[in-house]
Amino acid sequence: MKEFFKMFFASVLGVITAGVILICISLFITFALIAGIASKAGGGEIPKIEANSILHIDNGSFPEIVATNPWSFIDQKDQTVSLSQAVEAIKLAKNNPNISGIYLDIDDLAVGMASAEELRRALQNFKSSGKFIVAYADRYSQKSYYLSSIADQLYLNPKGMLGLTGIASQTMFYK
What does the pLDDT read at residue 74? 56
Render pLDDT for 16-43 as a digit per residue (tens, 0 to 9).
999 999 999 999 999 888 877 776 655 4
Average pLDDT over residues 91-100: 92
Same domain, 60 and 133: yes
What does the pLDDT read at residue 72? 59
Q: How far apart are CA 174 and CA 1, in angstroms?
A: 95
Same domain, 25 and 99: no
Render pLDDT for 100-133 as a digit per residue (tens, 0 to 9).
999 998 877 788 888 889 999 999 999 999 999 9
Render pLDDT for 131-140 as a digit per residue (tens, 0 to 9).
999 999 988 8
Q: Decide if pLDDT at 174 tops 60.
A: yes
Same domain, 11 and 93: no
Rounded to whole angstroms, the maximal C-alpha distance in the chain is 98
What does the pLDDT read at residue 150? 92
Q: Decide if pLDDT at 50 tops 80.
A: yes
Residue pair 162/145 in contact by the 8 Å Cβ criterion: yes
Integer CA distances (angstroms), 104 to 43, 78, 93, 109, 161, in order? 31, 20, 14, 11, 17
Same domain, 77 and 41: no
Tell whether pTM > 0.95: no
| Nearest Cα residue to 122 out of 166, 79, 85 | 85
Same domain, 147 and 102: yes
Domain ranges, residue 112: 53-162
Q: Decide if pLDDT at 66 tops 60.
A: yes
